[in-house]
Structures are given as structure tokens and as C-alpha cells.
Structure 1
Amino acid sequence: MMEIVAVDIGGTHVRFALAGLGGGGVSLGAETVLRTGDYAGLAKAWQAFGKQLGRPLPDAAGIAIAAPVDGAEIKLTNNSWLLRPAALAAELGIGRVALVNDFAAVAHAVAVCADAQLRHVCGPDRPLPRSGVVSIVGPGTGLGVALLAHGRVIAAEGGHIGFAPADAMEDELLARLRARHGRVSVERVVSGAGLGEIHAVLTGAEPPGDDRALWQRALSGEDAQASESLDRFCAILGAVAGDIALAQGADAVVIGGGLGLRLADHVADSAFGRRFRAKGRLETRMAGLTVRLITHPQPGLLGAAAAFAAADRA
């Protein structure tokens, strides 16, 4: 059993855990969460994690980052950290580092998740195929898209495909967003901020300043208009997930992302499945695809460790 550090770097928090790799699986230890704003960079946060752990850290790390990871420098969107991949192992004082985009990490997590951590949403209630193509779609700050093709993770930018309205309400939503942004991608709608835009069209009122409060009211069911907005959000997510599945030739679909787990008790009872299937002449094919939702509490950490294991095998 090999031990590494799994790291998941977001805009506000960085998460650490020890991970064991062996026997084709990944095991995660207890999670440590630190605020990125409290540290000058990853190396300082790494040292703080080691101090809290009270023991020497392993000589390798799998790191998921909420940014593209293919440049000479990686600047995170919502904090001041600057990472230089070529120098990162030396800065951390370790031998090996594997970097992965945060949503590609979710795809790696899907590859190693137990079936019990993939909750059925719609379509046939069967396990994910262990070969073939699985589309992974995840609403959060934006809309993450990746695919798991015959065991290989491929990052994608499907969140930037164009939004296609399906009725008069969505026509109005498109017009509202087009007036502000010009071209309207699906992540303008199927993301954290998208709920407020949907709510504005349904109610005729401008979005509240705090998206989190609207999400809380929608998820709790305490606000009928917020709940109606959430139902529409899930319906559009179903339409988008179906489009991506068609474009990628998927045999199954997994919903993840920062909002995925929060939607677990809502998406199956919404119009998600109907809109996922509503693809005209291909409706029968779409009805045959299983759609599941990843319920692992830390797919970013799990995926960071799994990405390291995949790189180690390559």
C-alpha cells in the first residue's frame, strides 16, 4: 500500500487528506480543511497540514485545482495563490506530484467509486458500465464537464456550449442573459448563479444579492417560488446533460459538481429525467441510459488521489 497526500484546492478552501493506494483502490483518511486566505501559498498550507497531523508527510501528492493545469503558471481565480507546476514538488519538499483539474478529478473519482456511492437518478437502475463512455456533468460555480472513456479520463469544456431554450419561459431567460452577455453558454444557466436568473424570469423580480440564501430557500422548500425555480433548474440540467451525453456518445451519465450532492433529494423527482430523454428521434436511446449522482462526500480528494494512481500506472 502506497501512501500519498491528496489535496483539493478551491478558491476559498484547500482540503488535505492522507490517501492509501493499492489493490486498484483508493482509501482516504480524515479531511483537514484550511482557508486559502490564511496562507501565502500552497507550501505554507502544506506545512500547516503536516503540523496538525503531527507526523512527516508522504513523499508524493495528488493535487486537484480549480483551474486549467497545463500552463507554466496556474493562477487561481478566487485567491492570490500562484502555482508553478515544474517547481511544485521542490517547493513542497517531496518527490512526485500529479496535478489534475478539479472536474477531471471528479471523473477520476467516478472511476473508483463503489456503486453504493452512485445514487440512481433516472433510466435503468443498473451499475455504471466498466467499459464504454460515461459523461460526467457537474453544476457549481460554473458547469463542469468531463468524460470517462474506456477507463481514461478526458477533460472537456462542455459547460461553454450554447444554451438552447425549450419553451417560452426559457426563451425569455435566454433573451435576458443575451442582453447582458451576448453569447449565452449553458453554464450561465446551470450553475450557482443561474438559479437567481431563473427566479428573476419566473417572478419578475431581480435576483437577490445572495445566491446562497436563494438556494437555501429553494432546497428547504420554505419558499414556493424558489422551489419552482429549483424545479426549472433541474429540468434544464436534464436537458443539458442529455445533450452532452449525445455529443459524447455516452453509455451512462453521472451528475457531480459542487451543487450535485445538494440536489440529490430533488433531481430524481423533478423534470430532469423527462428533459434528459426528450431528444426527438433518439428518445428511446436516451431512456436506455442510466443516470446516477455521485454521493461521495469528497470527490475532489478522492479524484486527486485516483489521478495520481492513474499517472503512476501510465
Structure 2
Amino acid sequence: MEVGSSLMDACPEANTRPAIWISIVHINILSNQNICVIVRTCRCSRDVRQREATPVWRHHTNLVRDCEYRYRFAAAARALVPANLPAHALGMRKLIVTGDIGGTNARLAIFDATDSDDVCAQPCVHRTSYRNEQFSRFHDVLDTFVQEARAHLNDASFYIAAMCLAVAGPVVADRVSFTNRQQWILDANELRDAFHIDRVRFLNDFVSNGYGLLTLREPDECYVLQRGEPSDGEPKACIGAGTGLGECYLTACAQPDVSGQGSTVWHYEAHATEGGHVDFAPITELELELLQYLRNKFGDSGHRVSVERVVSGRGLVNIYEFLREKYPEKVQPSIDKSILESNDGAATIARYVYECGLCAQAMRMMMDIYGTECGNAALKYLPFSGLYIAGGIAPKNLEWLQEGKSDFLKRFREKGRVSTILRRIPVKVVLAEDLGLRGAHVVAARMASDTFPPTSATAGALKHPRRWYETRAILMEHTERIVYFTGLLGVLASCAYTGASVCWWYFRRTRPA
């Protein structure tokens, strides 16, 4: 926020008054055509980063033609809180909730919303995991978690400024449905209203991994496969094979350096892709035979096969089954039985790679194809700030990415006339196991601090009707009473686009403080 500096410029005497308070009024026009007015009160201070704003009132009204007048007066009337608001009135603790919601488990964590640029430095208040089958709906999970956090804090005076959840499913219009739990329909607006959370956002689980890259403490949490020629401000990309194959990329936006040192500060935003579902493109004769085998297995001879059918946990099993059919003389019956009967065939294959030649060949073949797909991703995104390999397979089988064990790096670089480009791209394996939760934490912290950066895709907030854009502080005739309005941003009733307009209001105090 730039509230503090703007106020001091407009009102120099405010810096000498010890008890000047301002009301910050957030005008939030929701996608469901409702207006939410949230009034916060805070002490006026030049040190903006140490100033907390406490919600003291919320007002909802319908978005109608004449609402332009109705809600500004509703907000103005309630904004006139006592001028000498006591310090203990600002004691509500500001928290953020993050989560990783899968088909089986829901992992949730709650943090203090500090002003630290390093979200890893934000203290964790409470963290736990729930089995989804024990709850009929997600509302019950979140309610249980909040009550546990309240008991853990031994303090009821807190509010949740933002919540971001990484979800294993597509996010459509701020709603998420789970294929294996039909009663679990997550709606951001419903959660926001039911739990009085200022902002709620859902992320595709692999997009959350992308944001999680921003928290990595290198080199401790990364293994470098190729140093390349890293460049600040360039795109990043993340690819990860686990249960499936996910891909995303991140683009940078230059932000002003508030430290005054003159350096460029880069803020990254992650973008979803379905890169794991591109066609499998074999290179060797054996891979061509694998393609035909998978075509017959999943359809007719002309059926397309996605690369996820090969580069994933299930893909490793597919490769093993192909090899055991092609080379029956290499099959070891006891190991073969363990693999075919296992609930996690990929883990079983990985366990026997040094005892079974067929398992080793399957692992090597998958890693070769993995290298090819990583090279394809690198050509599409040109991530000169780094290509990061996440997921469960790579960090658990690091030796199979090395030269001598497989042709992973060779296949990554072999791109004909553009091979030299790939040698410039840093390639790293992510060793951290909680990347998704970290990514949700990054986004929640940005939402809570009003610093989610605009990008070329979201400039003007055309795609985020709940993003609050601040204008400037307004000096009242009574310097002890200052009311500050955020920018008005909303969905117009007559069209599907969002428009932004900024309004200023001056009004007098009509009752004693």
C-alpha cells in the first residue's frame, strides 16, 4: 500500500499527531453481481509495513442501476468510526490459510500474515491433514480445521485475510468438482461468505507447483543437472512426472524496487498448460514398437497416445509390460509377480532396478523419453531462468537422470539446429516434497498483502474482478478523521467484462468521535 506516504504528503501535521486513524474502505464487486464493502481501521503511520488494518464492518448489497449512490453512502456512514480508536481494538491477528486438496487427502496449514517477502519465514500456526472420506463436504473439513486452529491459538480474535487451495482438478469459474467425491464441490464465493475470508482462490495443483518454485532455497533444495546460462527475468518452466505428467510455465513482471537500491525486482506468475497430454513422439525403433503396443492397448491401431502414457508412474508400468511381452526370456517370475500384483507397480519396478534387467531397461527407456519431453518443453517455453523437474519420480531416481545410466540429458539436448539453445537453459531437479503447499502459500501471501502483481495477461484487472486496486489517500477537513477508498472494480451488469473506475468522496463527520 502507498497509503502512509500519500497521507503524509497531503497532511504533514499528521506525522506529529500521535492518535490519527484512517478508515480503509474496500469496494469489492463480486462476480455474482453483489457488492461487498469492507471497512478496515488502522493507525496512520509513515511506516506502512508495520501498520495493520483490522476489518471492523462488512456490508453486502445488490448490484443495481442506482447502486453507485447507495453503496457509497452506506460505506461512508459506517466508515466514521471513533477517531481515537484504542490500540487494543487493532489486536485481531491476521492469518492466511493454504491447502493442497487431493482426491484422497486434504492438507491444510495456517500462517501469520507477516510483511516478509520470504513466505518461508512466515510462522506456521497450525498444520494438519485429513482423510477426505471422513467428511461429506469440504466445508466440514475447513470448519474443523479453523476450530482446531482457534484452540491451538487459544485466541478467538483473528481473521483470515486470504485462502489459497491447490486442487487436483480443473478450476472453472472459481468452482472445483472432484470426480471421485461428487458431493465435494468447492465454490470460492461460498467459502468466502461462510468463513468470512477476505479473498479465496483455487489453483490447479501443478500451477501451485509453479509458484512453489519461487520458494526454493538453492542449491540445498535443487539438484543441478545442467548449469546453463541463467538469466534473471526470463521465463521459468516446471515439468513433473508422478501419478501423471504435469507442465506449467512462469513469466516475469518487473516491479518497482521499494528498497531504493535501484535494482529490478521480478515477480513471477504461473500459467497452466496440458503439456502432459501432447502426443508421444518415439525416436528409436524400440520406441516405435512401444507406440504400436500402446495403440493396441488403449484403442485401435490408429489411436493417439499421449506422452503421459509413457512418462509417469503408470507409464513406467506400461513400458515394463511392453518389454516383458517382447523379451519373455528376461522375465524373473517372482519379481514379475510382485510388480503385476502391486498397487504401486512403478515403485516396485524402481525397487528392483538393480536386481532385474527388465526393470532397469524399463527405467532407462522411460528416462530417455522423459529427457526428450523436457527438451520439447524447453523449446516451447525457452525458460532461461530455469527448467525445474518436479514430481515424485525424478528426485527418487536421480541416478537414472545421470549420463551413463540413461540418455536423459543427451535426449534433452538433441534438437537438431536449435540444440545450442538447450545447452543455455539451466536444468534442475526439485528435491522439496511440499512444492504444492508452498505455491499456495505464495499466492495466499500475495493476496493478503495486496501485492499480487499485474501482468500483460491481467493488466487492468480484466480477468480478476475481486482484485482491489487502491487509489490515493483523501485528506478530510478534520485531519483526525481520514477515510481512504480503494479503487472501484466490478463486473458490469450489462456485459461479461470487468471495468475499473476510481472514485473519491469527501464527507464531513456528522457525529462526535
TM over 0.5: yes
Change (3 A) 1:175 1:10: same
Indicate the residue corresponding to 1:13 in structure 2: 105
Q: For 1:221-240, what per-residue CA distance to the aligned partner results, in whole angstroms no more than 9, with x for missing partners? A: 45422232122212211110
Q: CA deviation at 1:301?
A: 0.8
Asked if structure 2 preserves the Cα contact closer than 8 Å seen for 1:133 and 1:149, the reply is: yes
Pick 1 or 2: higher relative contact order, CA cutoff 8 A, min separation 6: 1
Asked if structure 2 preserves the Cα contact closer than 8 Å seen for 1:219 and 1:227, the reply is: no
Change (3 A) 1:309 1:106: same
Alignment identity in percent? Answer: 29
Asked if structure 1 preserves the Cα contact closer than 8 Å seen for 2:211 and 2:442, the reply is: yes
Q: CA deviation at 1:188?
A: 1.4
TM-score by length of 1: 0.89
Indicate the residue corresponding to 1:39 in structure 2: 135
Q: CA deviation at 1:211?
A: 5.3
Change (3 A) 1:145 1:260: same
Amino acid at match of 2:395: L
Matched, 1:23 2:116: yes
Q: 2:388 aligns with which of 235, 239, 254?
A: 254
Q: CA deviation at 1:20?
A: 4.3
TM-score by length of 2: 0.56
Indicate the residue corresponding to 1:187 in structure 2: 308
Indicate the residue corresponding to 1:110 in structure 2: 213
Change (3 A) 1:91 1:245: same
Q: For 1:180-233, what per-residue CA distance to the aligned partner results, in whole angstroms no more than 9, with x for missing partners? A: 142111111112210111111222179725351442341464542223212221
Asked if structure 2 preserves the Cα contact closer than 8 Å seen for 1:43 and 1:92, the reply is: no
**Partners of 2:232 and 2:444 in 1: how far apart?**
20
Extract unaligned runs of 5+ from structure 1.
none
Matched, 1:210 2:376: no
Extract unaligned runs of 5+ from structure 2.
1-49, 51-93, 253-267, 329-335, 453-513
Matched, 1:199 2:320: yes
Indicate the residue corresponding to 1:242 in structure 2: 375
Query: Aligned to 1:137, what secondary structure does the other structure show?
Result: strand
Query: Aligned to 2:391, what secondary structure does the other structure show?
Result: coil
Q: Max radius of gyration: which structure?
A: 2
Matched, 1:49 2:145: yes
Indicate the residue corresponding to 2:283 in structure 1: 166
Asked if structure 2 preserves the Cα contact closer than 8 Å seen for 1:135 and 1:147, the reply is: yes
Amino acid at match of 1:162: D
Q: Aligned pairs, how many?
A: 313
Matched, 1:230 2:363: yes
Amino acid at match of 2:451: R
Query: Aligned to 2:119, what secondary structure does the other structure show?
Result: strand
Q: CA deviation at 1:42?
A: 1.6
Paired residues for 1:79-158 under 5 Å: 79-80=181-182, 81-124=184-227, 129-150=231-252, 151-158=268-275
Change (3 A) 1:221 1:130: same
Change (3 A) 1:121 1:79: farther
Asked if structure 1 preserves the Cα contact closer than 8 Å seen for 2:237 and 2:381, the reply is: yes
**Partners of 1:233 and 1:91 in 2: how far apart?**
47
**Partners of 2:399 and 2:284 in 1: how far apart?**
26
Asked if structure 2 preserves the Cα contact closer than 8 Å seen for 1:217 and 1:223, the reply is: no
Amino acid at match of 1:156: T
Q: For 1:136-185, what per-residue CA distance to the aligned partner results, in whole angstroms no more than 9, with x for missing partners? A: 10112221110011222111111111110011121111112222142111
Amino acid at match of 1:193: R
Amino acid at match of 1:313: T
Query: Aligned to 1:193, what secondary structure does the other structure show?
Result: helix
Query: Aligned to 2:443, what secondary structure does the other structure show?
Result: helix
**Partners of 1:295 and 1:20 in 2: how far apart?**
26
Change (3 A) 1:100 1:72: closer
**Partners of 1:241 and 1:159 in 2: how far apart?**
10
**Partners of 1:24 and 1:220 in 2: how far apart?**
44
Q: CA deviation at 1:111?
A: 1.8
Superposed CA RMSD: 2.5
Query: Aligned to 1:132, what secondary structure does the other structure show?
Result: coil
Q: For 1:243-293, what per-residue CA distance to the aligned partner results, in whole angstroms no more than 9, with x for missing partners? A: 011012221210112434333454335322111111122222212221112
Asked if structure 2 preserves the Cα contact closer than 8 Å seen for 1:117 and 1:296, the reply is: no
Paired residues for 1:70-85 under 5 Å: 70-71=172-173, 73-80=175-182, 81-85=184-188
